[in-house]
Amino acid sequence: MRVDRFLSNLPRFNRKQVRLLLVEKRVRIDGKIVSDPHAEVLEFSRVEVAEEVLQVGKPARYFMLHKPPGCVSATRDPEHPTVLDLIHEPNRDDLHIAGRLDFNTTGLMLITNDGQWSRRLTQPQTKLPKVYYVETEQEIGPQYALKFAEGLYFAFEDLTTQPAELIVLGPKAARLSIVEGRYHQVKRMFGHFDNKVLRLHRESMGPLVLDNALKPGEYRALRTEEIHLI
């Protein structure tokens, strides 16, 4: 939100007072004096006016997790362990999952308290590729790659999937890159050929790649340069 709008929304200031505060350089965002009414205030920003703190702000947090099988992509579940049960951090309830995985699907999960960041990561318009390693029950024929690149029609949603890239690694193994996240999409794509997916593992989301040093169930904080890739 623009800083002038943020301040004007408070009952204590009208628009004229806000303009004056900015001109007099009495407004600070994250410790820096701002005079531009278009300066952005985030939910994590500390906002001060004339030494009074109007929004304390909080640290933005970003984690990479190697999701194990048998784990629910949810904040709470009455029957099964959840992804957030694996995160041993203070104020864990503030965190949410950016891009879910099925119960037995493994691999990269990103967890944050930054809603804007996670939306950039997952919204369809960004078309960030998600790369999966896939093992199937039957052999993967050459027609798979052609059909996936063309797009598959999903009758339930009445839509055709975006073009996807398939690289065959072996008779029953492949690497698939998709830019969507439809319900059980990968399994349904292979299901078009009546080929059951036996193993599914997410290797990357856009430029963020699962750290090979992380064992299933382990996580680490993202580095600053990784956060800024999104």
pLDDT digits (tens, 9 = 90+) for 198-224: 999 999 999 999 999 999 999 999 999
pLDDT for position 55: 82
User: Residues 6 or more apart from 106 whose CB is under 8 A from it?
Assistant: 66, 67, 68, 69, 199, 200, 201, 202, 216
* pLDDT tops 80 at residue 129: yes
pLDDT for position 8: 93
pLDDT tens by residue, 41-60: 887 888 999 889 898 878 88
DSSP conformation class of 207:
T
Which among 206, 166, 168, 170 has a CA at the least distance from the CA of 186?
166
59-67 average pLDDT score: 94
Tokens 């690694």 appear where? 169
Domains located in the chain, CATH noted:
3-55 (3.10.290.10), 62-224 (3.30.2350.10)
pLDDT tens by residue, 148-204: 999 999 988 899 999 999 999 999 999 999 999 888 999 999 999 999 999 999 999
70-98 average pLDDT score: 90
pLDDT for position 106: 98
> Known catalytic residues?
102
pLDDT for position 125: 81
> With contact defined as beta carbons under 8 Å apart, do 80 and 96 qualify?
no
* pLDDT tops 90 at residue 128: yes
Tokens 């965190």 appear where? 95
Question: Within a 10 A sphere around the Cβ of 2, how many other Cβ atoms?
Answer: 13
Confidence category of residue 132, pLDDT binned at 50, 70, 90 = very high
Q: What end-to-end distance do the CA atoms of the chain give, in Å?
A: 20
The pTM of the full predicted model, rounded to 2 decimals, is: 0.80
How many whole angstroms separate alpha carbon 63 and alpha carbon 61? 7
> With contact defined as beta carbons under 8 Å apart, do 80 and 70 qualify?
yes
Phi/psi for 226 (5° steps) reads: -70, -40
pLDDT for position 126: 84
Q: What percent of the chain has pLDDT over 70?
A: 100
Mean pLDDT estimate for the chain: 93
- Bridge partner residues of 200 (DSSP): 134
The three-class DSSP label of residue 180 is coil
